[in-house]
């Protein structure tokens, strides 16, 4: 028993921790930064004021994490985030394809707890910063659950707290609001009076059908007059969670200090909407429904943005500017919202897309005032307009991984964060990121330092694509439909034979298009055009295009809609081969074509986007000028996703036991192996609410074994479901040969792999 008499001076229990890197904020950015830094070999303390990790992606807020793929509604093919962010998404798909936010929480906690280098302090709020001159010295944080005061000191600090509590208290320069057009020449800069300056907060709700009638009496504070919401006609009984992203409020207030008031207003709107659904009589289908969950922590979109060594702007995103210190990629639209949110009569968002993905420079994450401070998440150094794109969680999370590698490098090599952007350092940081499967547009993994680069490589077969085989699946050519095919600079012609079914004599219009920038997937330049007369019935249409002027690039074989014509769709699913359609995806402002008003600094172009599985089959055709898309030399590309080619070794369809063999003249000591598989980087893999058809994507090799020179199996798995499979051996394996046997899943999906490295 503990019994104490009156004491004049009591104080909290205090715990001091010294670490290498202190990260404040355990949203997706802080979490991915912590895991990445820990794996680079530094000690990390991760302080998160909530009981779970994930921030807006957690079960407390329940936003689906998105990034460059933009719900697969823009032209950014194969742009999904990789690295630790991708690992989390792929694990979430494996365990939780239904998108249960609670399961997503468990994955984040598990990943962090598995890292010995991370000390995780949940329920712990950072509230005080000691700093002297341009250095942060320590941070105080309080845990209300264990009533402990933590004094945390570190060599480097990373602020991933959303509102930027750490940077603010450390005195770093920041902005809150919108820049004028004049400041950076950003033509999308809002008219502040009409549109406001800040994006507001949101609270979501989930409902469920109980199978019997349920009454609802609204709380006294619920909104009474639903017509106060200009968008009330959008309310639907079957909408839930993220469908209600437009319940937004607070953009005209102080989105930090007024947050509690904003929360009450959002609850008022949420319960008012539910009252309308339950009691207006307009939704009889809601009779058995009840509220299952209402958010208690508002999802915050925007507050402070801190000033780094560089501030990204609209032009960097639209022109896809290149940076020497690029650490990550983005691709979400420039997405701004009227500050009046749910009470605004204006469209609830303005989204303008770029033609492809863009680079994010490290300098946006390094404080220009405080020497040992990094930024991560939505608070990084970007203009209000650029923030419209960089703020989404998967984009901020991959940039945060770049921050983590830079921070670890700066600690281990005793250089300042700002020095890590210099050529001699940034190249190593970029290479470390690429090795961990991160994507930085236009950069390649330098393979020369790996033992694997000295090996003689042989493969059991290589796919020379001569056909996308026909199936029983004929579909009417309802909308513009295209088959994407990669061609090489040495190719003179592309010759195709397309099976067609016509209900009457008609004309088939086919256009061959390419992107002006071969690293984009926005078909905009016409290379060839056909008007083919077809007769009633089944037949083949022959098409030959001159491609001699093109370099390595994807071409789009575009079929104009014609309801008298059916095309055949193949069951063959092949790495780097995709069909796309000119269809709308209003959720991301894709109306088939981007038609911006003049003079807002945005390009006009067509959207050609894929269908989600189980749809999205390739258009069947014979390829009379075969495409050598699966050659083993693709393993040397240093790029682990399709860009200007498949970048993958792809085995032949008929290869029953695809095998990759590496041989050296002398035995080598192998202590680590990395294999980079195709976990479908075109798949948006939304983390929450959005269900997905399968837990492992069809292209991904699940089962394989690695054998040494004696045929002894040194590694095997049957459960791979990730882009990056990392294998390390406690004792190096001495061998002059490695043989990797891959198991094919079915006859229509050939085995593929982007890269294999070992050391
Ligand atoms: C309604 C809404 C819809 C959106 N739509 C999407 C979408 O569809 N997809 C998408 O990817 N993004 C979307 N966004 C944007 C995205 O959610 C945010 O930009 C993103 O969460 C920013 O990530 P972050 O890690 O910086 O912040 P957060 O996710 O907010 O994480 C910061 C964490 O730091 C913690 N923290 C704060 N202060 C302290 C402290 N003092 N001590 C310790 N911890 C602290 C917070 O509790 C929080 O968990 C949306 C945002 C909102 C609000």
Torsion angle of alpha carbons 435, 441, 446, 451, nearest 10°?
A: 40
Of 287, 6, 33, 55, whose CA–CA distance to 163 is shortest?
55
Tell me the sheet residues that pair with 126: 141
Rg of the chain over all Cα atoms, to the nearest angstrom:
27
Q: Is residue 183 part of a domain?
A: no
Pocket flag, ligand 1, residue 62 (CB < 6 Å)? no
Structural domain for 556, as ranges: 465-625
Is the Cβ atom of 55 under 6 angstroms away from ligand 1? Answer: yes
Going from the Cα of 396 to the center of ligand 1, the distance in angstroms, rounded, reads: 10
Q: Can you tell me the distance from the alpha carbon of 667 to that of 670, in angstroms, rounded to the nearest whole number?
A: 9
User: Is the CB of 400 inside a 6 Å radius of any atom of ligand 1?
Assistant: no
Contact 571, 746 (CB under 8 A): no
Q: How many residues does the chain have?
A: 759
Q: Whose CA is nearest to atom 37 of ligand 1?
A: 161
Q: Quote the strand ranges of 584-651, DSSP E.
A: 593-594, 605-606, 618-619, 621-627, 649-650
Whether residue 270 sits in one domain with residue 165 = no
The reply to whether ligand 1 has any atom less than 6 angstroms from the CB of 673 is no
| Residue in 55, 246, 250, 251 to alter for ligand 1 test, most ligand atoms within 8 A of Cβ | 55
The per-residue pLDDT for 706 is 98
User: Measured between alpha carbons, how far is 514 from 516 in angstroms, rounded to an integer?
Assistant: 6
Do 708 and 743 have their domain in common? yes
Q: From ligand 1's centre to the CA of 137, what distance in Å?
A: 26
Measure the CA–CA gap between 561 and 575, rounded to whole angstroms: 26
Contact in structure between 652 and 461 (CB atoms under 8 Å): yes
Per the DSSP assignment, residues forming a β-bridge with 291 are 207
- The reply to whether 36 falls in a domain is yes
Task: Give the phi and the psi of residue 183 in degrees, each rounded to 5.
Answer: -60, -50
Q: How far is the CA of 164 from the centre of ligand 1 (A)?
A: 11
Ligand 1: residue of 24, 27, 163, 337 to mutate (most ligand atoms within 8 A of CB) is: 27
Closest-lying ligand 1 atom to the alpha carbon of residue 166: 41
Q: Are residues 155 and 173 in the same domain?
A: yes
Can you spell out the DSSP letters for 212-249?
S-------TTS-S-GGGSTTGGG--TT--GGGGTT-EE
Testing ligand 1's pocket by substitution, the residue of 240, 337, 393, 400 carrying the most ligand atoms inside 8 A of its CB is: 393
47 Cβ inside 6 Å of ligand 1: yes
Confidence (pLDDT) at 730:
95
pLDDT of residue 97: 98
Backbone angles phi, psi at 663, to 5 degrees: -130, 140
Helix (H) or strand (E) run with residue 690 in it: none
CB of 300 sitting under 6 A from ligand 1: yes
End-to-end CA distance of the chain: 58
Torsion-angle region of residue 456: left (phi > 0), alpha (psi -120 to 50) or beta? beta
Residues 101 and 52 in one domain: yes
Q: Give nearest CA residue, ligand 1 atom 3.
A: 245
Q: How many Cα atoms are found within 13 Å in the side-chain-facing hemisphere of 658?
A: 25
Mutate to test the pocket of ligand 1, among 24, 56, 163 (most ligand atoms within 8 A of CB): 56
Q: How far apart are the CA of 249 and the centre of ligand 1, in A?
A: 16
Positions of the chain with pLDDT under 70: none
HEC string for 317-364:
HHCCCCCCCEEEEECCCEEECCCCHHHCCCCCCEEECCCCCEEEEHHH
CATH code where residue 76 lies: 3.50.50.60
The CB of 293 under 6 Å from ligand 1? The reply is no
Question: Could you tell me the CA-to-CA distances from 748 to 339, 585, 605, 724 in Å, in that order?
Answer: 50, 29, 34, 23
Instruction: Judge if 166 and 21 occupy the same domain.
Output: yes
Which is the closest atom of ligand 1 to the Cα of 201?
A: 53
Is the C-beta atom of 303 inside 6 A of ligand 1?
no
Structure confidence by residue, pLDDT tens digits, 335-377 = 999 999 999 999 999 999 999 999 999 999 999 999 999 999 9
Which of 567, 593, 625 is the last residue in one of the domains?
625
Separation of alpha carbons 386 and 316, rounded Å:
8
> What's the domain count of the chain?
4
660 vs 756: CA distance, rounded Å: 9
- Residue 250 CB–ligand 1 contact under 6 Å: no
Give dist(CA 380, CA 174) in Å, integer. Answer: 10
Tell me if residue 201 falls in helix, strand or coil.
strand
Examine residue 453 and state whether it is found in any structural domain, yes or no.
Answer: yes
The token pair at 523 is 């078909």
Distance CA 290, CA 389 (A): 35
Residue 28 beta carbon below 6 angstroms from any ligand 1 atom: yes
Residues 487 and 403 in one domain: no
Does residue 8 sit within a domain?
A: no
How far, in Å, from the CA of 500 to the mean position of ligand 1?
50
Let me know whether 556 and 580 are in one domain.
Answer: yes
Give the residue whose CA is nearest to atom 5 of ligand 1. 63
Taking the C-alpha atoms of residue 643 and residue 521, their distance in angstroms, rounded to an integer, is 9
Q: How far apart are CA 563 and CA 197, in angstroms?
A: 47
CB atoms within 10 A of CB 483: 23
**CATH number of residue 657's parent domain:** 2.60.120.260
Alpha-carbon distance of 413 to 387, in angstroms, equals 32
How far is it, in rounded angstroms, from Cα 297 to Cα 759? 47
Residue 656 three-state SS: coil
Q: Is the CB of 365 under 6 A from ligand 1?
A: no
Strands (E) across 480-639 are located at 481-487, 493-502, 506-514, 525-534, 537-546, 553-559, 562-570, 578-581, 593-594, 605-606, 618-619, 621-627
The CB of 301 under 6 Å from ligand 1? The reply is yes
Ligand 1 center from residue 411 Cα (angstroms) = 27
Cα of 352 vs centre of ligand 1, distance in Å, is 22
Q: Mind listing the pLDDT tens digit for each residue in 416-462?
A: 999 999 999 999 999 999 999 999 999 999 999 999 999 999 999 99
What distance in angstroms lies between residue 189's CA and the mean position of ligand 1's atoms? 23
Identify whether residues 477 and 592 lie together within a single domain.
yes
Helices 101-113 & 83-95, crossing angle to 10 degrees? 130
> Does residue 25 sit in the same domain as residue 150?
yes
CA of 364 to the centre of ligand 1 (A): 18
Query: Which of 162, 168, 339, 379 to probe ligand 1 with, by most ligand atoms within 8 A of CB?
Result: 162
Q: Has residue 735 been placed in a domain? A: yes
Ligand 1, atom 17, lies closest to the CA of 56
| 292, 29 contact by CB (below 8 A) | no
357 and 472, same domain (yes or no): no
Same domain? 598 vs 710: no
Q: Whose CA is nearest to atom 1 of ligand 1?
A: 202
Pocket-testing residue among 22, 23, 25, 199, ligand 1, by greatest number of atoms within 8 A of Cβ:
25
Contact between 352 and 301 (Cβ < 8 Å): no
Ligand 1 midpoint to CA 56 (Å): 4
* CB atoms near residue 490 (< 10 Å): 9
Q: Which atom of ligand 1 is nearest to the CA of 66?
A: 11
Instruction: Identify whether 224 is part of a domain.
Output: yes
User: Relative to the CA of 396, which ligand 1 atom is closest?
Assistant: 23
Q: Is the CB of 393 under 6 A from ligand 1?
A: yes
Query: Does any domain span residue 740?
Result: yes
Q: What is the 3-state secondary structure (H, E, C) of 698-746?
A: CCCCCCEEEECCCCCEEEEECCCCCCEEEEEEEEEEEEEEEEEEECCCE
Is the peptide bond preceding residue 614 cis, with omega within 30 degrees of 0? yes
How far apart are the C-alpha atoms of 92 and 163, rounded to whole Å?
27
Instruction: Decide: 232 in ligand 1 pocket, CB within 6 A.
Output: no
- Rounded Cα distance between 378 and 305, Å, is 7
Q: Whose CA is nearest to atom 31 of ligand 1?
A: 27
Q: Which atom of ligand 1 is nearest to the CA of 378?
A: 26
Residue whose CA is at the smallest distance from ligand 1 atom 13: 392
- 165 inside domain: yes
Chain CA centroid to CA 187, Å: 27
Which residues are CB-neighbours of 633 under 8 A, at least 6 positions away? none
Taking a C-beta distance cutoff of 8 angstroms, is the pair 241, 62 a contact? yes
Do 519 and 435 lie in one domain? The reply is no
- CA–CA separation, 609 and 580 (whole Å): 5
Tokens matching residue 209: 């059908």
Neighbouring CB atoms inside 10 A of 112's CB total 23
d(CA 383, CA 183): 10
């Amino acid at each position: 028993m503990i019994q104490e008499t009156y004491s004049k001076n009591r104080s909290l229990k205090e715990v001091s921790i010294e670490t290498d890197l202190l990260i404040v904020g355990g949203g997706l950015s802080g979490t991915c930064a912590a895991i990445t830094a820990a794996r680079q070999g530094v000690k990390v303390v991760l302080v998160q004021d909530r009981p779970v990790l994930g921030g807006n992606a957690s079960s407390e807020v329940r936003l689906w994490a998105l990034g460059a793929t933009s719900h697969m509604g823009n032209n950014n093919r194969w742009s999904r985030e990789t690295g630790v962010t991708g690992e989390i998404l792929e694990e979430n798909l494996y365990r939780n394809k239904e998108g249960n936010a609670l399961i997503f929480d468990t994955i984040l906690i598990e990943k962090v707890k598995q890292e010995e280098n991370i000390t995780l302090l949940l329920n712990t709020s950072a509230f005080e910063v000691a700093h002297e001159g341009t250095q942060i010295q320590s941070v105080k944080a309080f845990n209300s659950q264990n009533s402990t005061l933590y004094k945390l000191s570190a060599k480097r600090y990373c602020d991933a707290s959303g509102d930027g509590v750490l940077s603010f208290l450390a005195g770093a320069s920041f902005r809150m609001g919108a820049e004028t057009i004049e400041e950076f020449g950003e033509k999308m800069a809002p008219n502040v009076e009409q549109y406001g300056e800040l994006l507001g907060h949101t609270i979501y709700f989930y409902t469920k059908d109980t199978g019997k009638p349920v009454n609802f009496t609204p709380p006294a504070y619920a909104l009474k007059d639903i017509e106060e919401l200009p968008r009330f006609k959008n309310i639907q009984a079957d909408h839930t969670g993220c469908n209600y992203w437009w319940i937004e409020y607070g953009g005209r207030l102080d989105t930090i200090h007024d947050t509690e008031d904003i929360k009450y207003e959002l609850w008022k709107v949420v319960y008012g909407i539910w009252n309308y659904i339950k009691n207006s009589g307009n939704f009889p289908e809601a009779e058995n429904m009840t509220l299952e969950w209402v958010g208690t922590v508002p999802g915050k979109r925007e507050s402070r943005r801190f000033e780094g060594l560089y501030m990204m702007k609209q032009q960097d995103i639209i022109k896809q500017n290149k940076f020497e210190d690029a650490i990550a990629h983005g691709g979400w639209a420039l997405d701004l919202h009227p500050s009046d949110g749910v009470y605004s009569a204006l469209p609830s968002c303005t989204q303008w897309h770029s033609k492809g993905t863009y680079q994010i420079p490290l300098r946006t994450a390094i404080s220009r005032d405080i020497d040992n401070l990094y930024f991560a998440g939505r608070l990084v150094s970007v203009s209000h307009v650029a923030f419209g794109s960089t703020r989404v969680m998967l984009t901020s999370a991959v940039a945060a991984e770049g921050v983590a590698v830079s921070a670890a490098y700066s600690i281990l090599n005793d250089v300042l964060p700002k020095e890590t952007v210099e050529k001699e350092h940034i190249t190593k940081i970029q290479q470390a990121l690429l090795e961990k499967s991160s994507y930085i547009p236009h950069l390649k993994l330098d393979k020369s330092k790996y033992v694997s680069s000295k090996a003689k490589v042989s493969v059991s077969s290589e796919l020379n694509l001569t056909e996308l085989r026909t199936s029983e699946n004929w579909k009417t050519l309802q909308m513009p439909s295209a088959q994407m095919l990669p061609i090489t600079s040495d190719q003179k012609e592309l010759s195709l034979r397309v099976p067609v079914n016509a209900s009457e004599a008609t004309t088939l219009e086919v256009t061959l298009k390419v992107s002006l920038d071969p690293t984009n997937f926005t078909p905009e330049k016409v290379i060839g055009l056909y008007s083919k007369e077809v007769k009633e019935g089944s037949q083949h249409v022959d098409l030959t295009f001159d491609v001699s002027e093109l370099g390595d690039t994807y071409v789009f074989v575009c079929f104009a809609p014609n309801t008298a014509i059916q095309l055949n769709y193949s069951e063959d699913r092949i790495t780097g081969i995709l069909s796309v359609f000119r269809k709308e995806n209003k959720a991301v402002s894709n109306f088939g074509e981007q038609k911006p008003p003049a003079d807002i600094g945005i390009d006009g172009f067509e959207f050609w986007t894929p269908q989600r599985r189980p749809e999205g089959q390739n258009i069947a055709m014979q390829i009379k000028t075969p495409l050598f898309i699966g050659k083993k030399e693709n393993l040397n590309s240093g790029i682990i996703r399709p860009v200007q080619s498949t970048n993958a070794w792809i085995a032949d369809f008929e290869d029953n036991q695809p095998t990759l063999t590496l041989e050296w003249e002398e035995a080598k000591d192998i202590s680590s192996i990395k294999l980079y598989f195709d976990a479908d980087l075109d798949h948006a893999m939304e983390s929450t609410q959005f269900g997905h058809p399968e837990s492992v994507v069809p292209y991904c090799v699940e089962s394989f074994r690695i054998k040494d020179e004696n045929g002894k199996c040194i590694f095997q798995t049957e459960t791979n479901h990730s882009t990056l499979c990392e294998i390390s051996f406690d004792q190096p394996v001495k061998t002059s040969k490695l043989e990797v046997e891959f198991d094919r899943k079915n006859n229509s999906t050939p085995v593929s792999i982007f890269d294999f490295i070992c050391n």
